[in-house]
Amino acid sequence: MAAEGRVEVVDDKKLKKEKKSKDKSEKKDKKRSESEGVRKEKKDKKKDKAKQDKLARALDAHLQADAAAAFEAQDDAADVDPEDLIKPAEELVPFALPLADDKAHKKIFKLIKKGAKLRSIHRGVKECEKAIKKCPPKTAASGEVAAPGLVIIAGDISPMDVIMHFPVLCEEHGVPYLYVRSRADLGVAACTKRATSVVMLKPEGKGAAKKDGDAEMEDADSGKVNAEEYLDAWKDLVKTAEKQWKIQVQPWVKGTHPLQIADREKARLAASA
């Protein structure tokens, strides 16, 4: 019996030791798994943070590149000729008044060709703006003064904002103006390689007369260009422009145009109904 009791005690001790060792190993495994799990989480967080930093750096570089490109575009925009931004439009701009008729179109293009040979024209938006602004401003005290030039504007312009200010600018400086239908035809008449939106005809040019006093210049197309004939045709066209302004534009300014009267009548009838 004593021997059996000892065997049982030994077995109990062995069982306890095995249980303790098993518990210890389980605890170690648990700690190891937990520690490994934490390490994995830290490693994932580091990877995510690295990715986020990389994306942030890439985005910052992209934004800086866009900002630099925009800044360069603004600098270049100052040197861009507005003529390069203009495209031909299918219809004329709504403010193309006074518009020259077919007969006046022929006179205008013929006169521009002569003016190009006599070097008495300005071409393009920038050049014409400078030429108009050099003319003295028109005031009520100035009275009847000879026109300092004649501006021809193409009506098939897009965007229209490029030429929208010319009528006001011309009226401020007492410069008559007329609209024509085709920008391409205006460029051909002005002897340029591309279409032209605006041309300003001066009464006299740098080449209006030769050094020897002869008032004629050679023209490959029509033989000779006479400066006096050019001036007479220029004056005649100025009168046409002023007359058409009174017929087509002045009624709009005064509010007496038939279309304006019709619109007011419609509004009155609608309000009374």
pLDDT of res. 197 = 93
pLDDT of res. 145 = 75
pTM equals 0.64
129 or 211, which is more confident?
129
pLDDT of res. 257 = 78
Least confident of 136-140, 197-201, 243-247: 136-140
Between CA 106 and CA 111 the distance in angstroms is: 9
| pLDDT above 70 (res 216) | no
SS (H, E, C) 88-141: ECCCCCCCCCCECCHHHHHHHHHHHHHHHHCCCEEECHHHHHHHHHHCCCCCHH
Whole-number Cα distances in Å, 62 to 37, 40, 56, 67, 69: 37, 33, 10, 9, 10
Pick the closest to residue 155 from 135, 170, 171, 177 (CA basis).
177
* pLDDT band at residue 184 using 50, 70 and 90 as cut-offs: very high
pLDDT of res. 171 = 92
pLDDT of res. 198 = 96
| pLDDT above 90 (res 265) | no
Are 129 and 111 contacting, i.e. CB atoms less than 8 angstroms apart? Answer: no
Between CA 153 and CA 167 the distance in angstroms is: 9
| pLDDT above 80 (res 72) | no
Domains present along the chain, CATH in parentheses: 102-205+226-268 (3.30.1330.30)
Percentage of the chain lying above the pLDDT 90 cut: 39
**Cβ–Cβ contacts within 10 Å for residue 242, how many?**
16
Q: Which H helix or E strand runs over 151?
A: strand 150-154
34 or 146, which is more confident?
146
| pLDDT above 90 (res 241) | yes
